[in-house]
């Protein structure tokens, strides 16, 4: 879906935005997922002192070697979500991948500079 097709969402207060817990996470592994409706990866995340979490997302158009070791932005307070046979405990934020098929939402992850520490708050 292009940005032209996605209208802006309604305005929220800064206080509501502060309730969203965004953090830096380092990708440890990102194998392709089996049994999901659309091609996806099971992404193992290191959140430093906050431990490790799993995220399942449509990042299948990016090679695992290009993901592992990268710092990304994740939301960690959305609760657990069932994704096929997997449990996704965090949401890796992303933007639409330009080569995504029309019936999928393949994405590219939002990255953070390598000097950022896993678990650090995004503000």
At CA 105, angle to CA 69 and CA 110, rounded to 5? 35
Count the domains in the chain.
1
Look at residue 2 and tell me if it is in a domain: no
The answer for residues whose C-beta is within 8 angstroms of residue 9's C-beta and 6 or more apart is none
Q: Domain span at residue 27?
A: 14-112
* Cα 57 from chain centroid (whole Å): 6
- Checking if the pLDDT of 3 tops 70, the result is no
Q: Is residue 79 part of a domain?
A: yes
CATH assignment at residue 34: 2.40.50.140
Indicate if the pLDDT at residue 6 is higher than 90.
no
pTM for the structure as a whole: 0.92
**Nearest-5° angle of CA 66, CA 20, CA 69?**
15
Whether pLDDT at 74 is above 90 = yes
Residues 46-60: tens digit of each pLDDT: 999 999 999 999 999
């Amino acid at each position: 879906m292009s940005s032209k097709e996605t209208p802006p969402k309604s305005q929220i207060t800064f206080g509501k935005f502060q309730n969203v817990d965004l953090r830096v996470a380092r990708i440890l592994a990102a194998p392709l997922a089996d049994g999901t409706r659309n091609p996806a990866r099971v992404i193992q995340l290191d959140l430093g002192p906050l431990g490790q979490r799993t995220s399942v997302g449509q990042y299948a158009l990016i090679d695992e070697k290009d993901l592992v070791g990268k710092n990304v932005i994740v939301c960690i307070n959305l609760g657990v979500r069932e994704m096929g046979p997997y449990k996704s405990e965090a949401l890796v934020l992303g933007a639409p991948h330009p080569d995504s098929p029309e019936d999928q939402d393949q994405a590219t992850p939002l990255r953070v500079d390598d000097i950022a520490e896993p678990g650090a708050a995004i503000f």
